[in-house]
């Protein structure tokens, strides 16, 4: 199990700070005819990437909280299919919902800082213990209602 300090270091390397506030870091927007200035997805293709790690990262990318939704569909920069209309987040990073498609269908490998974040999160979950005592202690009683003053 990774130490809490190491996990904290990995996570802090994933978030950026703007005006003293923690900001979510973007991964997976690509350049195209209507989106100049973004990275070229072709330059991220790496068919030698370990298959299991690619699958783990792709699975991770399909999960998360909806961060923002848009009125239009993003198109894949390789094959042109409709590839989603929302952004997902894990609380540190945000990405277009179709990012996993680039990994599984086109051999894209994301930067190691992001892959390291995913691996750290997955390892944390695999190593995490569980605590059922708190929930069992609730005993079916009604939740306490706190009146606002």
The answer to the question of residue 142 being in a domain is no
Answer for the pair 46, 53: CB distance below 8 angstroms, yes or no: no
The answer to the question of residue 38 being in a domain is yes
The answer to the question of residue 66 being in a domain is yes
The answer to the question of residue 139 being in a domain is no
* Helical axes 4-12 vs 112-127, angle rounded to 10°: 150
Whether 129 has a pLDDT exceeding 50, the answer reads yes
Question: What pTM was computed for the model?
Answer: 0.78
If one counts the domains in the chain, the total is 1
Determine the 3-state secondary structure of 97 from DSSP.
Answer: coil
CA distance 148 to 132: 30
The answer to the question of residue 36 being in a domain is yes
For residue range 30-72, list pLDDT tens digits in order: 998 888 999 999 999 999 999 999 999 999 999 999 999 999 9
Provide the edge-to-edge strand list for the sheet that holds 86-89: 25-26, 93-96, 86-89, 65-69
The answer to the question of residue 20 being in a domain is yes
Answer for the pair 66, 115: CB distance below 8 angstroms, yes or no: no
Question: How many residues make up the chain in this entry?
Answer: 149
The residue with greater pLDDT, 6 or 144, is 144
Q: Count CB-CB contacts under 10 A for residue 129.
A: 5
CA distance 28 to 93: 10
Range of the domain at 71: 4-127
């Amino acid at each position: 199990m990774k130490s809490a300090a190491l996990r904290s270091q990995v996570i802090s390397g994933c978030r950026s700070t703007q005006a003293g506030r923690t900001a979510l870091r973007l991964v997976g927007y690509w350049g195209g005819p209507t989106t100049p200035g973004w990275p070229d997805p072709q330059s991220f293709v790496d068919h030698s990437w370990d298959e299991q790690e690619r699958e783990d990262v792709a699975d991770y990318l399909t999960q998360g909280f909806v961060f923002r939704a848009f009125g239009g569909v993003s198109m894949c920069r390789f094959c042109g299919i409709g590839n989603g209309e929302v952004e997902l987040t894990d609380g540190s990073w945000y990405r277009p919902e179709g990012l996993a498609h680039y990994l599984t269908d086109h051999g894209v490998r994301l930067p190691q800082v992001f892959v390291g974040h995913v691996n750290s999160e997955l390892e944390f979950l695999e190593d995490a213990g569980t605590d059922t005592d708190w929930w069992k202690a609730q005993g079916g009683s009604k939740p306490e209602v706190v009146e606002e003053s």
